[in-house]
Structure 1
């Protein structure tokens, strides 16, 4: 396994462990590495109480994409041009930000910011996907 692949595995496991610690009960979170054509990696998160709800984050590349397509997808993701993304809800966005920083997360795109709808922040997962973490305002 290459050094880059080992580092990616470590980042995925740290993300899984950070999410697992933030829930009162066990959270079925798996960081899975498989070999298909080259290194194919993904992170699957099963939402607690969500039944069949599952979030899958995948690294662009073989076997799903050829390298040229994968490079274009990564570029678009990094620019934020694909839109969408994940939004997680928290009771305290500033405390979550501090906790994530203490655990070594560095890929923040926005620190906690007050808006009319609440406080939110932005971060990227190890693959560059945009994630928003929102503390909803009082309705």
Structure 2
């Protein structure tokens, strides 16, 4: 399977961004006056191209494998740290930290941040009519 350099660039950009139109802009010489609809059509045609879609699938699979290995290895390390901490009488805090680290790693725990402070907003009479 042989792609043109631009098709390869498109496939890589698509896997990186997840956006076909953005991938098309990065891979092809798109003028400033090019309509977004035209870019979308061309990007869709590329994704429908059998060779390009196979290459995208290959790249996504490789990226997925790298991510899984990272998540799996970090989970294993956190498990080992948790087990080591539980062997110590005073290790409960470290064990809890390891468990919380695993939860964050797997997207089960999302930290929330509260913001405080004043927001100053000026509205012109023209904007107020909207």
Same fold (TM over 0.5): no
Higher Cα Rg, which structure: 2
Normalization by structure 2: what TM-score?
0.20
Normalization by structure 1: what TM-score?
0.19
Answer 1 or 2: which has greater helix percent. Answer: 2
